[in-house]
Structure 1
Amino acid sequence: MRRSLQVVVLLAAIATVAVGVGAFALVTDSPDDTTDPSATDPPTVGDDASVEQFDSEAAFEAYVAAAQRDSRVSLGGGGVTFQGDVDVAVETADAATNGQRAGGSGGGGGETRISDTNVQVRGVAEPDRLQTGQQTLYYADGRYWGGGYVREDGHGRTRILDASDPAAPELVGGIDDSGQLLLVNDTLVVLSNDRVTGYDVADRASPEQVWSVGLNARIQTARMTEGRLVLVLQQGVTLDDPCPVEPFTDRPGTACTDVYHPGADADASVTYTVVSMDPHTGDEHDRVTFLGTRQHSATYVTNDSVYLTYTQRTPYAETYQAYLQGSELLDEQAHDRLDELATYDLTANARMTELRAVVQDWLARQPAEERDQLRSDLRSGYEEYVDERKRDLLRSGIVRIDRDGDSLSVAETGEVPGRPLNQWALDEHEGTLRIATTVDPMGATSVNDVYTLDGSLEVQGSARNMGETEEIYSVRFEGDTAYVVTFRQIDPFYTLDLSDPANPEIQGELKLPGFSRYLHPLSGDRVLGIGEEDGRVKATVFDVSDPQNPTVAESRILDARWSAVAQTHHAFLYDQRHEVFFLPTDRGGYVFDTELNQQAFVETDEPATRAAYVGDYLYVFSNDGLTVVDEETWEPVSELPFDRVTAEAVEEPVAPEPRPAGPDEPVRPVDAEWPAGPHR
């Protein structure tokens, strides 16, 4: 049955800006004051349209073929990487929280308190290599290369530790499987690069595999909520055999007539399938599949909904042609040729070739002594043209999928200017969605905004223009307040008042060296920032008691160049009982109180990866083993070495180059521990 939902388009065409790089050397510098106010505007990514399903497989194939013709995005499936999202967690009175800030027993239950995984939303569990149960901990192998990248790929072993004696934990069992872990009751779910597997761990000494399902897709996000496993799977679309869409290797696919797509053109490079499953049996409850783009930038999951966002860029060739058509610099002959090109159905590369030829021919007709100045004027004019339209040229589509028991449905879609950093750039509070974005289309001066959206995902209000020339490095929403850090050469820390969704307000700004990649609210109107300054790990405590005048209460630069906290909030541990936090580094783990006084340093042979508290003992994990520290004396009391995964057991891959994605590269997954760095 063909259904449609009238909504704001969630996906729009994305161009590969790289096609313009060569042209920029000749043309993209542009005129200072030559932009005609009536210049032709390029197509934008914000037109109203419908999201609907296909009438037939032929319609699906035709749509994909047309959409991909101009796309230079590499297609195909690929191994698992966890896009879930990145960094931070807290407990607030209203809902978006984490068990660590609450202080109580955490998620382990029983008489002995045991810490939970750091999560964004209370009641929504996130996958990590460390999971805690009642007097039991599960820890998956990882392998490191330079820059801090950790491999969690299904090879190796997940160790099961008995912590009934908190001072002396013991290895009591294990699973010959490794990856990201989720725990619900006596079921441990392991998410690896080619499968999702459920194990019965009621008998910790003899875990038993209960179910397993193979994957043809990447796991972008996984969550556990109300006893249900929710997966977001990304899969490349090929024209060879596109129907049905088969994210699993051994389960029926999704008929192409059940796939959602936007009414307007999109690059249609991937499908996204949101699946609800029973973690104990692996049975599938429901799924929703829709065409999307590889420019998936963030996933935010609440107890009732899944929000997916997509970076949408107006194609560079279209933007540049629109600018040239409105430019008074070009002569009549050039404009006639541009009008002719506008009627042609060309690929992006072909259009850019023609546009370069138009500009070269125009320059050749000009006096030789004027050509350099004209070229410069054209370049500066283009920059001004793009800067004035930047919020139309770079936008994020948002789709909300609601969960009602075991059922999933596409509920609403919307869009905002710019691109979100990660899951922490989105937050739902009292019926309002808040989203922080960086607006930085190629050729424009970057700025940063916060938008508020109602239940229909219509924009209610905005606070704009933070950190000109910079981009967002971290975000934290806390009730009616938001904290935003932007960075280029310094670290502006912003406080925002969101109590009136129709009128968000930037209250205060503080500038300091370095940047904060991770924000974590502490008690007493203080916010902890973990980041970097001059290539070294930096911890900062911000005093936000006066939101209009935030100050630095404490600051400390460590003798360390890397911390897993910069890549994943799961590596951060806050123990409210002892008012300390754990900061893993390449040399070992630091323990600081909330005044940044060092309480302990736990040395590890390999980089420290995770920590947990059990009773009044701190467990510090590395790939080599576990060190137990008494939180009353801060002295080590026991060690538990781990057997290493042998070289024969794991094929050594080529390490990924530790660099950030460019403006038109796919945003790299953030549940995996990638090296930290800006997006540009």
Structure 2
Amino acid sequence: MRSSLPALVLAGILVVSAVGAGLVAVTGGFDPAPDDPSPDDPGSNVGDGSVTQFESAAAFTAYVQAAQDRGGYGGFLGGVAVAEPGVEFTTDSASSGAAEGGDGAAGQAGSASATDGASRVSGTNVQETGIDEPDRVKTAPDGSAIYYADGRGYWGEGGQTRVLDTSDPAAPAVVENIDASGKLLLSGDTLVVFDQRGIYAYDVSDSANPERTWSRTLNASVRSARLVDGRLYLVLQKGVRPDHPCPVEPFGDGPGIACTDVYHPTSQTDATVTYTTAVLSPESGETLDSVTVLGTYGHSATYVSENAVYLTYTKRVSHAETFEGYLESSDLLDQQAESRLDELATYDLSSRARQVELQALVQNWLARQPAEERQELQQQFQEGYQQYVEDRKRQLLRSGIVKIAIGDDGDSLSVAETGEVPGRPLNQWALDEHDGELRIATTVDPWGATSTNDLYTLDSSLSIQGSVEDMGVTERIYSVRFMGDTAYVVTFRQIDPFYVVDLSDSANPEVKGEVKLPGFSRYLHPIGEDRMLGIGQEDGQVKATVFDVSDPQNPTVAESKILDARWSAIAQTHHAFLHDPKHDVFFLPTERGGYVFGEDLSQKTFVQTDTPATRAVYLDDYLYVFSESELVVVDENSWETVAEVVLGVDGGEEREEKPIPTEPEDYQREKNVHMASLASGASGAV
């Protein structure tokens, strides 16, 4: 996928006048990944992903400084601290779907049958059944109330959360406004609100009269949050800098975490952030336990199962190590260049300084060659470098995995296992725990090599058992969906290959079948036993596709529809999707309103909204469609609108919509960080 750019760049820079300025572009860029490693390879990046605690504050500082010296990306670039992102729940945003129940399946968190109020109440569309995720809308289990955040707190603008009385599902009404907004979790009678600045809890036992019970200020962004068995689990992300690496203080109102309590990878990584996994009591806000791991910002993912929190971090061979390894393996250099290379190996240089010296070495070598031979040597050098990276791409980028076990009481956390795999995961959906084993799908896309995609199965100790490699060569993963012993993987570059992977034999996973079609699916959701729904785009238009997977060896496209819409909130978060199995329909929000489709893609209705539709829930047989400023209620038996409720923001002012990204949010942000690093003169790659 990226192989053409290094060829063009290297062809242009391997001349005497430009080598020094261009080598960063050759070895920089997106991170690399691993093949069958040889321990004798220079800069081998293969290990076990192990972590250990720092022995001292000085050791912490030295590790972070070494990360900066080797050109790490994110967090601290070119001596300038990069602003930390806000509440990062969309970091784990939609790139695969959720389902109602099933082993290892996602579900509607909070769905309930109530004795009073509504008998059917939808919850948040989540990855794992019974593990709730924060979102801007939450329904009371008995259907008596809905809480809807206007979202402004999430973007650092303040805001409010609307409290709606829904005791009569056909006639909801706003009864109160809470002066906090962002993402919400509902634990019993406690509503927890997250924004960029803090966490706030309200007693909503009387939903019309909520009372704040506690608050916590944040010095970090919330990477992930989950509600499991009455406990609140957070992963807090905080940038580090060499001049003040610790104590780590993710909360602004609590004691810091000592340097010697922080875990770090035993191998050197581009350490740019700390991830603090903390368990809190929703009722009191008290921190019951926490574990802090030094990790990397780019290409990291968090995933939470019933028993553990999984964190990943990026391991990459530095640019200088990659290029030095190639030079040591090349037979093109003359004796003078080889002697200089041996001499440089004895020097204690930072990664950046070593890279400059290697650039000069190549520049001087090429200048010594006869003019009539330089072009051919340049081409040989270019092709040799590309082949070197291609042969080692699964060594050059790896993802370390840290399993933080949740104690039987739910109140304790501990580092249980570590491991690592080639490549980088897309997001939370790329990981799945099943019968005590972990499965992870990764994209292997080093700068200078052809991108490809793998899936690995790991045992309970996080050792690799088996793998499927090279799905979608030249492409990258856009969505993943694990369902029991099957995985569905979508890759994309110009077409959308949809893969069915059999995981029943963990030691020998196997691609059973695939189907190719235009466009791509960014969200996957099972609808029935033998069908998978994909939501994505084709030629800039929102597209829905139903895959027939009844024959895993021959998956087919059963239905496909391109909508009159260019955007859907589902592209940003799976929480925007709603499936109603009773009526066999699903809700798909767009910039003009929300479509309601049957599972055969027959359109039931279109609910027009004055601003982009954001969410939908159902109470009994009433569908609630939310936009920023209104709620539209539709009777699912007749598909007629029965009520409209004005929500809006204070004073009726309108909020400018966020620009709609054309790439997954992580990818776009990291690309921006990379451009900033180049502008500042740093050699960090994203």
* Residue 143 (structure 2) pairs with residue 138 (structure 1): no
Question: Among 224, 239, 255, which residue is 1:221 paired with?
Answer: 224
Alignment partners' CA distance in 1, 2:50 and 2:190: 41
Q: How far off is 1:295 after superposition?
A: 2.2
Q: Is the 8 A contact 2:490 2:498 kept in 1?
A: yes
1:562-597, CA deviations, whole angstroms, 9 ceiling, x for partnerless residues?
001111100000000000000000111000000000
1:26 alignment partner, one of 13, 20, 24 = 13
Question: Take 1:424 and 1:269, find their aligned partners in 2: how far apart are those partners?
Answer: 23
Cα displacement (A) at 1:526:
0.4
Q: 1:109 to 1:64 in 2, by over 3 A?
A: farther
Match of 1:478 among 463, 480, 483: 483
Rounded Cα–Cα distance in structure 2 between residues aligned with 1:588 and 1:243: 48
> Residue 128 of structure 1: which of 109, 131, 135 is its match?
135
Query: For structure 1, which segment, 427-436 or 531-540, has the greater mean C-alpha deviation from structure 2 after superposition?
Result: 427-436
- Contact 2:478–2:521 (8 Å) recurs in 1: yes
CA distance in 2, matches of 1:85, 1:486: 18
1:469 alignment partner in structure 2: 474
1:263 to 245, 262, 266: 266
Paired residues of 1:295 and 1:667 also in contact (CA < 8 A): no
Kept after mapping to 1: 8 A contact 2:262/2:294? yes
Structure 2 partner of 1:311: 314
Match of 2:119 among 109, 112, 118: 112
Are the aligned partners of 1:39 and 1:327 in contact in 2 as well (CA < 8 Å)? Answer: no
Partner of 1:197: 200
CA distances 1:572-628 after superposition (whole Å, capped 9, x unpaired): 000000000000001110000000000000111110000001110110000011000
Per-residue CA deviation, residues 121-157 of structure 1 (Å, 9 max, x unaligned), is 11110000111112211111136xxxxxx95436111
Deviation at 1:349, TM superposition (A): 2.7
1:222 aligned counterpart, secondary structure:
strand
Instruction: State the alpha-carbon separation in 2 of the partners of residues 324 and 274 from structure 1.
Output: 42
In structure 1, C-alpha distance between the alignment counterparts of 2:189 and 2:85, rounded to whole Å: 28
1:401 equivalenced with 2:410 (yes/no): no
Distance 1:511 1:427 in 2: 25
CA–CA separation in structure 1 for the residues paired with 2:400 and 2:284: 34
- Residue 385 of structure 1 aligns to a residue whose secondary structure is helix
Match for 2:374 among 368, 371, 376? 371
Aligned counterparts of 1:297 and 1:82: Cα–Cα separation in 2: 12
Read off the aligned partner of 1:44 and give its amino acid letter.
S
When the two structures are superposed, what TM-score results if normalisation uses the length of structure 2? 0.88
Q: Which whole-Å CA distance do the structure 1 matches of 2:642 and 2:576 have between them? A: 22
State the match for 2:557 in structure 1: 552
Q: Which residue of 351, 356, 362 maps to 1:353? A: 356
Tell whether the 8 Å contact from 2:71 to 2:318 is kept in structure 1 after alignment: no
Q: Is the 8 A contact 1:448 1:465 kept in 2?
A: yes
Answering whether residue 69 of structure 2 is matched by residue 69 of structure 1, we say: yes
- Whether contact under 8 Å (2:86, 2:154) holds in the other structure is no
Q: Which residue number corresponds to residue 499 of structure 1? A: 504
**1:509 is matched with which residue?**
514
Amino acid corresponding to residue 615 of structure 2 in structure 1: R
| Maintained 8 Å contact 1:38/1:326 | no
TM, length-normalised to structure 1? 0.88
1:19–1:294 Cα change, 3 Å: farther
Deviation at 1:310, TM superposition (A): 1.5
The answer to whether structure 1 residue 451 and structure 2 residue 456 are counterparts is yes
Determine helix, strand or coil for the equivalent of 1:383: helix
Q: Tell me: CA distance 1:660–1:79, structure 2 relative to 1, closer, same or farther (3 Å).
A: closer
Give the drift of 1:80.
2.0
Counterparts of 1:196 and 1:662, CA distance in 2: 23
Structure 1 residues 649 and 252: CA distance shift in structure 2, 3 A = farther
1:99 to 91, 99, 108: 108
1:160 to 154, 159, 163: 163
Q: Compute the displacement of 1:115 (Å).
A: 0.4
Q: 1:442 to 1:662 in 2, by over 3 A?
A: farther
Q: CA 1:382–1:343 in 2, change beyond 3 Å: closer, same or farther?
A: same
Q: Alignment partner for residue 617 of structure 2, among 599, 612, 624? A: 612
Distance 1:662 1:582, change over 3 A: closer
Alpha-carbon offset, residue 366 of structure 1: 1.6
Contact 1:439 1:447 in 2 (8 A): yes
Q: How many residues align?
A: 639
CA offsets, 1:242-272, max 9 Å, x none? 3321111111111111111222223332211
Distance 2:294 2:480 in 1: 29
Alpha-carbon separation, structure 2, partners of 1:108 and 1:57: 57
Q: Contact (CA 8 Å) 1:233, 1:274: kept in 2 or not?
A: yes
Deviation of 1:47 (Å): 2.6
Q: Relative to 1, partners in 2 of residues 1:646 and 1:152: Cα closer, same or farther, differing over 3 Å?
A: farther
Deviations 1:385-443 (A, max 9, x none): 11111111111110000111200000001000011111111111111111111111111
Q: Hey, what does 2:59 align to over in structure 1?
A: 59
SS at match of 1:241: coil
Query: What do the CA deviations read for 1:207-243 (whole angstroms, capped 9, x no partner)?
Result: 1111111111111101110100111011111233333
Contact 2:332/2:381, CA 8 A, preserved across alignment: yes
Contact 1:300-1:307 within 8 A present in 2 as well: yes
Change in Cα spacing, 1:177 to 1:54, as seen in structure 2 (3 Å) is: same
Paired residues of 1:492 and 1:510 also in contact (CA < 8 A): yes
CA contact (8 A) 1:295 1:665 kept: no
1:170 counterpart residue number: 173
Within 2, Cα distance between the matches of 1:598 and 1:488?
Answer: 29
Label 1:656 to 1:351 Cα distance change in 2 as closer, same or farther (>3 A): farther
Q: Deviation digits for residues 56-110 of structure 1, max 9, x if unmatched?
A: 323333333333333354435624232462222113432433038x9x7479985
Instruction: Check whether the contact 1:394–1:418 (CA below 8 A) recurs between aligned residues.
Output: yes
Is residue 2:81 matched to residue 1:81? Answer: no
Q: Which runs of 5+ in 2 are unaligned?
A: 15-22, 28-36, 674-684
1:625 and 1:98 mapped to 2: Cα distance? 26
Structure 1 residue 561 and structure 2 residue 566: aligned? yes
The answer as to 2:583 corresponding to 1:578 is: yes
Worse-superposed segment, 263-272 or 160-169: 263-272
Quote the offset at 1:203 in angstroms.
1.7
Aligned mates of 2:9, 2:650 — CA distance in 1: 47
The 3 A distance-change label for structure 1 pair 95 and 659 is: closer
The CA deviation string for residues 9-59 of structure 1, in whole angstroms up to 9 with x for no partner, is xxxxxxxxx9999767414789xxxxxx99973313223575222233233
Of 538, 544, 553 in structure 1, the residue corresponding to residue 543 of structure 2 is: 538
What SS does structure 2 have at the residue aligned with 1:528?
strand
- Percent identity between the aligned chains? 59
Q: Determine the C-alpha separation between the residues in 1 that align with 2:671 and 2:439.
A: 20
Q: Which residue of 1 aligns with 2:600?
A: 595
Residue 338 of structure 1 pairs with residue 325 of structure 2: no
Q: What is the one-letter code of the residue matched to 1:481?
A: T
2:647 is matched with 642
CA contact (8 A) 1:153 1:178 kept: no
Deviation for aligned residue 1:163: 1.0
Check the 8 A contact 1:152/1:178 in 2, yes or no.
no
Q: Could you tell me how far apart the structure 2 residues matched to 1:348 and 1:633 are?
A: 67
- C-alpha distance 311-261 of structure 1, shift in aligned 2 (>3 A): closer
Q: For the Cα contact (< 8 Å) 1:154–1:179, is it kept in 2?
A: no
Query: Structure 1 stretch 180-189 or stretch 354-363: which is displaced more?
Result: 354-363
The correspondence for 1:423, drawn from 416, 421, 428, is 428
Partner Cα distance (1:381, 1:429) in 2:
42
Correspondent of 1:386 among 376, 389, 393? 389
